[in-house]
Structure formats: structure tokens, C-alpha cells
Structure 1
Amino acid sequence: MSGVRKPAWAVMTVLLSAVALSPAAGQNLLAELGCGGCHPGVPVEENFRSKTPDLTFAGERYQPAWLFRYLQQPEKIRVHIGRSRMPDFNFSAEQALAVTLFLQEQKSDPSRRPLAATSEAADTAEKIPTPELISRTGCLQCHTLDGTGAGTAAELTRMGRRLQQDWLQNYLVQPQFYGVPAAVMPALFFTADSTRGTLQQRLPGARRKISEIARFLAARGKDERSEDEELFRQARTAFPNATAELGKTLFLSQNCLACHRLKGLEAPWQYNAPPLAGAGGRLRSDWLADFLQKPTPVRPAGYFPGSGSRMPDFHLDDEEVREILAFLKPEKESSADVPAPLSPFARRKIEKMLHEKLSCLGCHQLDGRGGRIGPDLSAVGSRLQPAFIAALLRDPVAVLGHRAMPVHPMPAGRREALVRYLTHKTGPAAAQSLPEFTPWFYPQNPRSAPELYRAYCASCHGLQGQGDGFNASFLPVKPTAHADRAAMAPRADDTLFDGIAAGGMILDKHPFMPAWGKTLRAAEIRSLVAYMRTLCRCTQPEWAQEARGTNRKP
């Protein structure tokens, strides 16, 4: 599908045609695509992960150059898995290289691979051309080779571009070693002898036949493989900072384990995207239809700030978009639902308040100014329903189900004016660029002081408290460096507590520092203060220590 967005009339056609569809079709599609692996509120297809490759053996299975290309331009390989497919995560070349280097390291013990367990036997089998051997063995009852075959399993014609020859040999010996059910790929050449711990051949000349087939398939796609290898070589030269460790971080940040298995690795969270239940009541229908056809970053630093997660592109066709819309049931909008716009004077007053009094732009961008933690507010009225904007400003924790957005009490009149202002911030939103940073992880419900710091402070103040978080460069003033002993030692713990609880303005600092006092518990704020003391390796002033017993925060 083209990356060009469709005109408004085309989007409306999709919306109108979705009305007549059954929600069940959309639910089934979301299950097939595995959307419930990231979004709560959506069922995941039973045995979904059996459809996807087990990446525990990726390093011995795939040609690294092919993997590098595939991560940037995914294509459907497994034709037997319905509408499931690998989405496009819009990896840069450097990111794709890093993930490739990480997957290259995933290998089994060579001494335990199937070929090592085979026993030698006299080879009395007739020697025939390899294509005929492939046909006689029964491969084409599922696979296709040069246009011949059932076409219900992976195409063999270009397999050498994708798979390594040694892995092909081991796989043909015993597919079940790699976690593939016998019903999907039977062991045609050897049977397991559990008493001896060896594999006994089922067909005469089994090892030779496997070697011939593997060598034949590995030669297919050789020219394309050479092109891939040249691009891979150029990337390794161009991006010396791309490492396997970075690749592991990116792999986790995109929640790849929601779909793929990789032994010994666990996902840092259960979900990393907003719930889809009730999405139709939160989002504007035309925006939702457009977004499904071409996703763009909404939260550029990830759903959980700093996590780096992003919505991938499944390249949905119009029919698939209609099915999903029928399931999500976007609410019909009428002019009665939209509050009246503010007068020019009131609008300027709200804008001045946003820039000089409120903390919203510490996390959100507005007309080119502000942070990159939360969604861009420049066209938020085109994305969110007015009622949802009002509910979000009233109690973000209750609405979102997590504490990434602080509760900001304000008079009802001011909140109403802000809702009216944001509702009329409409138009096509500029695509948000993803900030350059290495993602980090923390539990969905952080409890310890380091976890709390990563969740609520590190985006601006940096993981080590150096004032260099990914969001710092978008702020008008440099965030406090909590690791700076000279800056932190003169400050009392009560002062730090007040700054976290009541925000920057209470200390005569910049208003973009939000107030967390209505979101975090007092005990959590105290633990953050104590953690900051470990970063600066300093204690509060002596005068503050003396007064600690009589003037202590609750």
C-alpha cells in the first residue's frame, strides 16, 4: 500500500461502508493480526505464536543480510497462516542492523543439533536429479518450486536468499527440534530413537538426500543474496554504533515477544499500547480510518514514556480497515457534541497560560513548541472526541488506567475553556519525528525508587540524573541535573519534595515541570527524593537535617 494518505472523500467512503459489516469480522481480523499482544481488550487467536517463527534459532536459520533487508521491508513468507503477517515497524537502517546483529547471536549448541545425532548407514538409494528428488519426497504437496506445487507452505524457489544451508540440513533431519509441530512439517528422513538418543533413517541415503536438497535450495536466490550482502556490508561500515545490545533493546521495545518466541528472554510488560475497548468513543472516526491505513507516531517516545514502542504498519487494505472500524464502532459525531469555539481573546489567554503557567507543554508539543513525551496537541481536536478530552483533563489516571499523565486540578471554568480550545485545534497533524534515544524499561506499575525515577523523571532528567533525557532538548530550560552535587547539596529534602509534588512554579522554576502530588503517593515522592540523593552522592544541608524532626513532610 502506498504511503500517501487518501483524500477525505475516500476515507468517508470507507467509514460509510463499515457500518453494514458485522463486528465479528473485525474482531477475527484483530485476532489474526495479533493486535491483542500489544493492546488490551482484544482477544488473541489461539496458538497465534505457533504461526510465527521461533527466533531462538534465528542466528543459525537466517541469512543475516536477508534479515537486515526484511526488517526494513517485510513481506509475507508463510502463505498458510491466513491474514497474519509481519508488520512494518519503520526501522531505520541503523536500527534494522542492530536488531539483525542481536538475532544473529541466537543459536543452539552445535553438538546438540539434529545432524549430529544421525547414524551412518549404507547408501543404496538411486541417485536422481534434485528437483525430482524434492518432488518424490513429497515436498511439493505443500510447497511450491518454480511454479509447481500446492502453494500452502513457504515458497522454495528463493529459499537460499533467506535461509542458511547448514540450518536447512538440520531442519530437514528433525523439524521438531526447532519447535515445529509434525502436523506442519513432518520428519520425512529420520525417526527419533529415544532409547539410544539417536536418529534412525527412514529412507535409504537419507543424509545424502538431505545434503543434496539443502545444497540445491541454498543456491536458489544466489544473485539476490549477493545484492543483500553488499547492502549489509555497507550498513556495517556506515553504522559502527549499531550493536547486538542495542538490537536487543529495540527488539524488546517493540514488544516482538508478543508474537515471537525466543527462549530465555521475557517481555518487559504485558501490554504496551492503549486498550482498544472503547476506542470508538475516544477517537474521531475519520482520524481512526486514516490512521489504520497509514499509522504515524502519536506518542513519539512510546506508550510508556521512554519505552520507544510504536504502532507498526500492517498495510491494511480497504476491506480490512472497514472490518476493524465495524468492531471498534466509532461513535457518530454531530455538531451538538462539539463545544463552541473560544473568542480570539479567550484563545490567546489560554495559549498564554499554556506557555507560561501550565505544565502541559513539558510533555506535549503545541504548534512546534514543547516536549515529545505525549501526543502532539497541535491537531488534537481532529483525533479525539470532545467528551474524551474533557474526561482526560478531569482525571487522566482514571481515564488512561495508568499514571503517565499527572492529575492537574484546575477550576471548572478554566478546564472548560481548555477543552474548547483543544477541541478546535484541528487539521492534518504533522508527522512526529521519533527522538533519537535508546529506550529503557520499567514495570507497568513501578514501585521501587529506581523504577519510579525511570517512569516519571528520566525522560527529562536522564537515566543517571545528568539532565540529559531525550525530552530535555525540546524544553526551554535545561532540566535539573540530579547527579550534580553542587546543585543538589544546598537543597533541603523538603524543597525537593515540594518540587516533585507541586511542580516547578512552587520553587520559582519553569512551569513545564509538572506537579505529581495528586498522582504519586507521598511515600513514593519521598523515595524519589532519597534516590536523587544517591545520584548526587550528597545529603541535605546540615540546617535542614537539624529541622527534620520538627518540619517533616507527611
Structure 2
Amino acid sequence: MKLSIRQLGLVSVLCTALLGVVIWALYSEYDRPWKIYQQQFRQLNPGSSAKDNPARIKQIWNEELGAVDRCVTCHEGTDNPLFLDAGQPFKTHPGSYLKHHPVDKFGCVICHDGQGPALTADAAHGEVDNWPRPVLRGAFVQYSCIKCHKMEQLLSGSTAPDGASALIAGWRLFTQYNCSGCHRMSEVNKAARIGPSLTFIGNKVNRTWLINWLRNPGDYLPKTKMPRFNFRDEEIGFITDYLMSIRSSSRGVLQYAPTGHIRPSDALTAIEGKQLVSSLGCLGCHMINGNGSNFAPDFSDIGNKVNHGWLIQFLKAPRAYDPKTIIPDFKLSDYDAEKIAAYLVSLKKNTVIPATAGIQRKDWIPGLTRNDKIKTFPNRNDLLSDSITKGKKLVKDKGCTGCHEIERLPAVYNAPDLFKVGDKRIDVLTFGNINKIKKTLKDWMLVKVTDPGSFATDRIISRMPQFDFNDVQAEALVTYLLSLREDPIPPSYKMTVSGRDRLRYEAATVIDKYNCRGCHVIGTTGGIIGPDLSSEGRKSRPEWLFTFLKSPYKIRPLPMLKARMPEFNLSEREINTIIEYLSSLSDEPYPYNFETKKEIGREDIWNGEKLYQEIFACSGCHTVNGRGGQVGPDHTDLASRLKRDWIRQWLENPQAIKPDVSMPRFRFKDWELEALTDYLMTLGIHRFIDIKGVD
């Protein structure tokens, strides 16, 4: 069959086009970017040559992960320390991560995301349309640590040698701000409420303060965890009326019967109250005019917030008002409670924001005229009742019960689930009218946690409040949120959680919850209000520690310490966790080993007592059964509290254990040291010594 001239022309055009495609393909393959990078790498690396290291696609085939990783085709210097100062893609991987995570086993994508099989920069980095996981850089990469390391290990510091600081910080923020109060994190567990109980808040605060607080909590407490909901004035009015209606005159803690000793305006009383606040260690948790800690609310303006009578009763019995509060009970007398309350209510800042402007009832019921009030609400009580009903509905709708106990309202989730938020696809995210950010999950999250209202449109309602996270906090929080995804990782890659790691994690949870380091040094950090607890496991008997933490009592005279230990409502599990952790810090066995009682004669006891009472005059500083000095700790129940070995080491050289201690070093002879130790071991309800001839 002969082709026509027209057909021949078409064939020649097609052949020419095909030839062009072939030539273009050959040329583009010859000049691939990865080949150029490998050529440049050989020039930078004197020990490499084209003959020994020809241009080729390099890949890591990880059968267990089921992944192909060709990142090393361009990133050839990633595990070569000679390229620390080189630019990308030749730069050595920072830190010592690869020492514990060799490239040939882990590859790159397992940590950094991206598209492993790709060979161009954009495609390999996943920065192309429809690729769900583009490469993550900087601190965001730390999200992947959770794939193999549980949070218990990361918090203990036993793994991830270069740290996962952003991931850990994000987890802490997520926990401290109680994100799971609104967002479901599991099918079973509901997060604990972190905010104070609002049941009977009408007895606690004044209306003016509450209105200002609802308008913007940060104006009163700049470091508050309470977000800004951007309520309309009418909503503030409704919520205020509802919350102020929650009051009681029958609950004992809310009833105030003054002793008659003092008046709130008594200046001398306020001074005495200030001294008590300092001596009791309140500044270990609270801030007053720039002094103290940010663990708990700042007291600098508390006088504009709380009612005086309520405060007195709360100081006397915090758990009578809120059974779940972590505020300790200081067992204050009526007089001391009144003095502290007088000082606290005197703390008022000069700047007062007009609270009622725009929130009068005529304003927060839109469009309601005087005549309408008469028609719709025949009397003031009907008007107030309607407002309270609307306020209660707002409290439930806005998710307030996720953080606060309010009457018996149930805690409900009013926001999307987060337990797989790291797997969200881009096509299900709503970007609103924002066009200036990259269409990635990471970038969407960054905007969501810093400015959630920016996604709102006429059709999209933003319910999330404003938390005012800074850039560092936002980066950390997003890093943690990205870790909430399902990644099938082989068991051989996952680190086993050791008992020590789990203990450190559980202990950190308890210690952080009650802010133990606000007063005590534990390990390497903490306050100086109370004694250093780093070696407490070597010093104290676990059974005594349990009793003491359950119900603390005075051991040392107050001048020796700045504060006395209050009573925390610790559970038995929390107490045992603390004791086990303190034992581990001192490398002491737990459960503990009962020591063998030493058998001694009566003469040995008499010799020890004579040394204690007469020769070295220990009773001049220490009390035994109510007799003696008030300079050092009480020795009445010493044998029940302290371990024999520690007592002996302390007597031998107190400064070796506590360099700044005021107790002198007596340089005892060996027999004196032994006799004194034996005598001290008889001072206690539970004697850890057997006396010959005594049943």
C-alpha cells in the first residue's frame, strides 16, 4: 500500500517528534541534577574518583519497613564527618542521631518524611501536589521520635541522646493547656479537669472581676492558661449572670464568721499576713509583684478578685470548697487565716477596667426596648432567669466543662478528635480565605494554634479560642500534634520501656502536678524553701516517708526552715511513686530491704546517752520527748525516720553530706561514733536495735 504525500508528511512529522523526545530523554537523563550533585561531591571529596565511585542511583531498600529510600543519591555526605561545614545536599547530618540510627538501617524518610523513591528535589521532598507528607525540617522532625520511643523514655532522658526537646515541650503544652478537655484523645479515657471548680463561684469572686476575666483573661493574668473566647458583650452578661447565681449559704466553707480579732483594713494585720505568706512558702507556687513562681495564679491583683470572707474559709480548708484541688492544707488557725486573707485582699493594682460598660442588661439582650421588657418579662426575676438559662447553655456549648467542674454538668467533647490528627489529608482541611500559607498539614496547624479565628468565613464558624502561643510554643505544639498518627513500625525498631524509664515518667508526672520542685531540690533543679530531697532515699526509711507524706508534721523548728510542709491530698499510688523515685536517685533498693537489728547491752545504751546528753551536749540543740533545744531537728522519733548507715555517716562528717549545715564536725572516736549511733537508734516508736535482756 502506497502512502499519500499527505500521509508521508504526517509520518515524517511524527518520527521527527519521536526522535526529539528520545533525544530530550537521553539529554535530560545525562544531565540529571543528582548526577551533577554526585560530580560536585567527588570534587569536594579528595578520596573519591569517578572510577571508584561512578554516578549511579543509590538506594536503601528496607524490607521490614517496606520502603525504598533514595535520599542518599544526593545526600552522600550525610554520615561523613568531613562535611560538617558543607552546604546542602552534602552536609553531614547534625548531632549524633546517626550513631544510634544508622542510615543503612533507618534511611531518611522514616524520620524526615518526603517521597523516598523520587530523584528530583521537589518530588523527593514531597513538595508536589497530592503528596500527603512533605519533608519536615528543623524541630518538626522530632515528631517521628514517638514512632519508636514512648514518651516515658523521652521524658526520662534515657533515649534520644540529642534530645527531642520540641516534641517533649509540645507534649507538656498539650497537657498543661488541657487540649484533651475539648478534643478526644482515646476511646476510653477522659482528661482530668485542670481548671478550678466553678461550683459556688458566686461566693468566691465579685461580678466586676468576672466580667473583665471573661472579656480577656490575659489582662488579669498574663501567663494564664485560660484562652480568650472573644465573647460578645451580651454573651459575657449571660455567662456572668449564670456563674454568679451558683452560690450557697449552706456549705460550711462558704460561711464566714469572723473571730473578732482583726479587721480586713488593719495595716498591722496585713503586714503579719505578708510575713506568713513568705514563711509558709506560698511564693514557691505563686507570684506577688514579680517575686515567686508562675506555677499557680499570680496574687498581685487578687484583692480585686475574691471576696474576703470566702478567702478566709478557703485558706482554712481548701478541699472543703474543691475536693479535687491540689492546693495543700496548711492547717491554719482562724487567726492566721484572717491575717493572710487581710494581706491578700490588700493586693490591688491601680488600673481598673470599667467592667459594666456595654454589658448592662438592656445591651446584652439585643433589640430589647423598655416596652419589650414589660411585655416579655413582667418582672426582673423573669429577666434574670432567662439570662441565667442562656448563660448555662453558653457554658456547655463553649466547652467550659472540659476544664472546670460546674455544678453537675458533664464534661463533653465539643471539638474534633485528635488521636489521628497527624494523618489528616490536605483535602479535608479548611483554609478559609487564607492564601498566603503553604497547603500542608504543618502550616495549617501552625495557623490553627496561633490564630484559629483566621480560618473563619461567612460560612465557616471558628469555635476554637485564642491561646496566644508564641512562635516557639506553636512549633513545639505542632511537633507533638504531628506525632499523633498511625505509622506501622516493626517491633524490632521500637525501644522497650524499662522499669526505670516508666518510674521516671510517673514520678515526673506527680512531681510536676504538685510542684514539688517549687520548694525542694530533686536531682539537679528545684527551690530552696524546703530541704534537698536528692539523697532522701539514702537517708529516710520508706515506711516513715509514706506516713509523713500522708500526714506531715513538724520535724525541724521553723527558724531552721523558711516554711513547714503542708498536707497534700496525695493518693497512696502517688506516695509510693515518689518514694520509689527518691530511692532510685540514691541507688537504694525498692521495695526496700529491712535491716538486721543490732544487738547491744544496756551499758552501751547508757554510754551513748551520756555522750549525747553530757559530753557533747546534743540536747542543747535537739529535742527528745519535748526536752532540749530548738535549734536542730527533733530527735524524738529519729530511729523510725532515718536509716542507721546515714545517721553514722552524718555524725562522722555532716559537711560531707550538706556543706552549708550549721552542725559542727565533732571528730568522734570510733567507739563514740558507734555508741552515739546505737543510742540514737533507740529513739523511736519502732526501734531498729535489740537490747540484751529486754524482751
Q: Shared fold (TM-score greater than 0.5)?
A: no
Higher relative CO (Cα under 8 Å, sequence separation at least 6) belongs to 1
TM-score by length of 2: 0.36
